[in-house]
Structure 1
Amino acid sequence: MSTTTTLLSVHGLEVRYGPALALSGVSFDVPEKGALAVLGANGAGKSTLARTLSGLVPPVAGRVAFAGRDITAASPSAVRRAGLVHLPEGRGVFPGLTVHENLRMALTAAGAERAGAMDRAFTIFPVLAERRRQRAGTLSGGEQQMLGLARALMISPRLVIADELSLGLAPTLVDVVFESLERARAAGAAIIMIEQFAHRALEFADRCLVLQRGTVAWSGPAGAAGDEVLRHYLGAAETA
């Protein structure tokens, strides 16, 4: 009988922005190499969850454990060094630095220069090799998204939080995003996907978590989150 090892464990997470309650009682687990789709309407708390897990927003209650270690109060740099990488909406690159400098900074933030990591990034995204001396701010939106993905995937993370990476991208580039995350998962990473294309996220994921006003409204196998669930909690069934 196969067993799964829990990589990320979140229990009773509560986050406030001043008097406003952004997350309340959020609990879930993500196993090694698992994929969790986090869905919800705008303002449901999805990005707050991502920012809290990555150390950017401190919770007021609850516990976050990663690879058996309590990271509830860990700094963003410590979380990243542990192997949890957050890819935020908006691409998360340094526009004033070149492509090469952006990738080198990702390696430094991860704690060490890793042999072959730069080559791995350029192999996944050959266009970045052609743009290596170009400033990131002058890249197209799709190329900046590729650079953000390359910064994460080159360091072989244990868990990637992909926060609305397909937002505003052309369909062919949306495919690149999903293919890159599938490649990361095949290499051993777990994925938390916060995604506007609900059906594509559900096809990718093993399990689904639906947030509504900062609380877990529904959770279960991704295959069970069909149109009825999406209509009930998101207002309408979204299409890929």
Structure 2
Amino acid sequence: MNASTPLLSVRDLQVHYGPALALSGVSLDVPEKSALAVLGANGAGKSTLARALSGLVPPTAGRVEFAGRDITAAAPDAVRRSGLVHLPEGRGVFPGLTVQENLRMALTPAGAERGGAIDRAFTIFPVLGERRRQRAGTLSGGEQQMLSLARALMITPRLVIADELSLGLAPRLVDVVFEGLERARAAGVAIIMIEQFAHRALEFADRCVVLQRGSVAWSGPASGAGEEVLRHYLGEAESA
């Protein structure tokens, strides 16, 4: 991949749910090791974008390239193997399995790296090490979110889509989630952040895209998405 080529390139992406148009003409780029905040009101198409990029929803038009390869029609497992990991809203852990079993499920069957990867997860989130034999369904909401994030970061992906990871968490646990994402970014992982706390997302990100009714309404440097942009497109700058 050429050094000037974005890690992720999305062009004119369109998604339908039956007859309803959920995304229309969405284009964006994510360079290596960068962070993009995707903001928008409820129903703007943010999670649909995440699902389309990760292969969970088939686009009806447009093109998605990741690391120089066309992944527009790729299956979710192929997208994940390529290094693009989607962390969905709702935590996405296996509640009947222990913490350690959840981590093992995220790994391929290959070799000695398995033990090292699990150790890496416990280093990032020590509380998970203390609960390694506990069933994931009995963890607190914040701990489940940590586990979901640890499952992604332990396999050293190239890009993580963090879809509303802070939803419903206490402020202290929101800090933990952001710290985990910051560690990933420091290690060279690119981040797409879909986040209810708009100001925190903008502080974290390099660039911002605002979706409105399934289309890109505004895009630019995160530092340029000030109160006026948030108020105009999100409607609630104070709570955003």
TM-score under structure 2 length normalisation = 0.96
Contact 1:106 1:152 in 2 (8 A): yes
Instruction: Report what 2:183 is aligned to.
Output: 183
What is the aligned partner in structure 2 of residue 160 from structure 1?
A: 160
Displacement of 1:4 in angstroms is 4.6
CA, structure 1 residues 142+221, in 2 after alignment: closer, same or farther (shift >3 Å)? same
Indicate if the aligned counterparts of 1:14 and 1:24 stay in contact, CA closer than 8 A: yes
Instruction: Give the aligned partner of residue 218 of structure 2.
Output: 218
> What secondary structure is seen at the aligned counterpart in 2 of 1:209?
strand
For the structure 1 residues 163 and 97, does the alpha-carbon distance in structure 2 shift closer, same or farther, using more than 3 Å as the test? Answer: same
Which residue of structure 2 aligns with residue 51 of structure 1?
51
Q: Is the 8 A contact 1:199 1:239 kept in 2?
A: no
- 2:13 partner letter: L
Shift of residue 238, structure 1, vs aligned partner:
3.9
Report the equivalent of 1:36: 36
Indicate conservation of the 8 Å contact 1:198/1:238, yes or no: no
**Residue equivalent to 1:229:** 229
Task: Give the Å deviation of 1:112.
Answer: 3.6
Which residue of structure 1 lines up, in the alignment, with residue 151 of structure 2?
151
Consecutive unaligned residues of structure 2, counting only runs of 5 or more, are: none
Deviation at 1:239, TM superposition (A): 4.3
Q: Measure, in 1, the Cα distance between the counterparts of 2:56 and 2:181.
A: 22
Residues 9-158 of structure 1: pairs in structure 2 closer than 5 A: 9-108=9-108, 112-113=110-111, 114-115=113-114, 116-158=116-158
Residue 179 of structure 2 corresponds to residue 170 of structure 1: no
Distance 2:89 2:193 in 1: 12
Q: Number of matched residues?
A: 236
RMSD: 1.2
Contact kept, 8 Å, 1:4 with 1:32, in 2: the verdict is: no
Please give the alpha-carbon distance, in whole angstroms, between the structure 1 residues aligned to 2:238 and 2:145. Answer: 23
For 1:15, what is the secondary structure of its paired residue? strand
* SS of the residue 2:7 aligns to: strand
Query: Aligned partners of 2:97, 2:189: CA distance in 1, in Å?
Result: 27
Identity %: 86
In the alignment, the residues of structure 2 paired with residue 51 and residue 95 of structure 1 have an alpha-carbon distance, to the nearest angstrom, of: 22
CA distance in 2, matches of 1:225, 1:238: 14
TM superposition shift of 1:178:
0.6
Runs of 4+ in 1 over 4 A off after TM superposition: none
Q: By how many angstroms is 1:130 displaced?
A: 1.1
Distance 2:4 2:145 in 1: 32
Q: Deviations over 1:187-234 (max 9, x none)?
A: 010000000000000000000000000000000000000000000000
Offset from partner CA, 1:79-118 (integer Å, 9 cap, x none): 000000000111110101111110001013xx74525101
Structure 1 unaligned blocks of 5 or more? none
Distance 1:89 1:105 in 2: 19
Inter-partner Cα distance in structure 2 for 1:172 and 1:6: 34
Deviates more, 1:230-239 or 1:32-41: 230-239
Q: For 2:151, what is the secondary structure of its paired residue?
A: helix
Whether the aligned pair in 2 keeps the contact of 1:199 and 1:238 (CA below 8 Å) is no
Partners of 1:56 and 1:75 within 8 A in 2? yes
